[in-house]
Amino acid sequence: MKRPRVLVLIAVVVIALIWLLWPSSYSRVANLSSRGTAIVAFGDSLTAGFGAASGEDYPTKLAQLIRMPVVNAGVSGDTTESALARIDADVLAREPRLVIVGLGGNDFLHGVPIATTEANLRTIVQQIERRGSMVILLGFRFPSMNANYESMYERIAHDERCLLVPNVLRGILTDPSLKSDEIHPNGRGYALIAERIAGPCKGLLRVADRRR
């Protein structure tokens, strides 16, 4: 075999080994061996499905895509503080295997300091993980001149070892055909959110199933 072909073969083998051994974003998620049962979507009006007809909320659409039940624990108007106050009854009491956390929009709208939002979100994620459940964190981009919300969600996901689905509203709030009002999606918008979560959710569950 000629030398160039040998070098190409070696390069292919090295790349394959790197691909196989490199830790994925799923493998670093806390509590992959969770013994919980429920999948819970925990959030505000974007989780509750405000602005869409019954059954058009993203948790319902997500359940159809992943072919597993998803509990909708969204409450319109929730801030990170009010969500934290109900986490025991609405989330932890359900013995979740996986919790999808989508919060922060109302903090932004009410002028809550981003440091407070970050502290509350960290506490929410930590309480869920202490119960032995996995977390998917939904990231958002808000139009702020002095606060980088995207970086905040990235920090929390990295530090607390949860899976981040970044900028889940991208393209929705600027497209009138996907909105019911200025800040809420319609049924088509929520379906798009569900699609963006479904792939990472299925990938995480596949990895977690191998740990059970």
* pLDDT tens-digit map of 81-122: 999 999 999 999 999 999 999 999 999 999 999 999 999 999
pLDDT band, very low/low/confident/very high, at 5 (cuts 50, 70, 90): low
Task: Report the alpha-carbon distance of residue 137 to residue 166 in Å, rounded.
Answer: 8
Q: Which residue has the higher pLDDT, 124 or 147?
A: 124
Each domain of the chain, given as residue ranges in start order, spans 30-209
In angstroms, the CA 104 to CA 95 distance is: 24
The chain-wide mean pLDDT, for the chain, equals 91
pLDDT at 69: 98
Q: What is the pLDDT of residue 1?
A: 47
Measured distance CA(181)–CA(179) in Å, rounded: 6
Residue 26's SS3 state is: coil
Q: Do 187 and 56 contact (CB within 8 A), yes or no?
A: yes
Q: What pLDDT, on a 0 to 100 scale, did the predictor assign at position 166? A: 97
Q: What is the pLDDT of residues 144-168, one digit of tens each?
A: 878 899 999 999 999 999 999 999 9
Q: How far apart are CA 164 and CA 157, in angstroms?
A: 6
- Position 22 scores a pLDDT of 39
- Hey, which CATH number is domain 30-209, 3.40.190.10, 3.90.550.10, 3.40.50.1110, 3.40.190.80? 3.40.50.1110
pLDDT of residue 145: 72
Instruction: Give the DSSP H or E segment for 102.
Output: strand 96-102
Identify the pLDDT of residue 137: 98
Residue appearing with tokens 């994925």:
24
Residue 14's pLDDT band (cuts 50, 70, 90): very low
167: left (phi over 0), alpha (psi -120 to 50) or beta: left
Average pLDDT over residues 23-38: 90
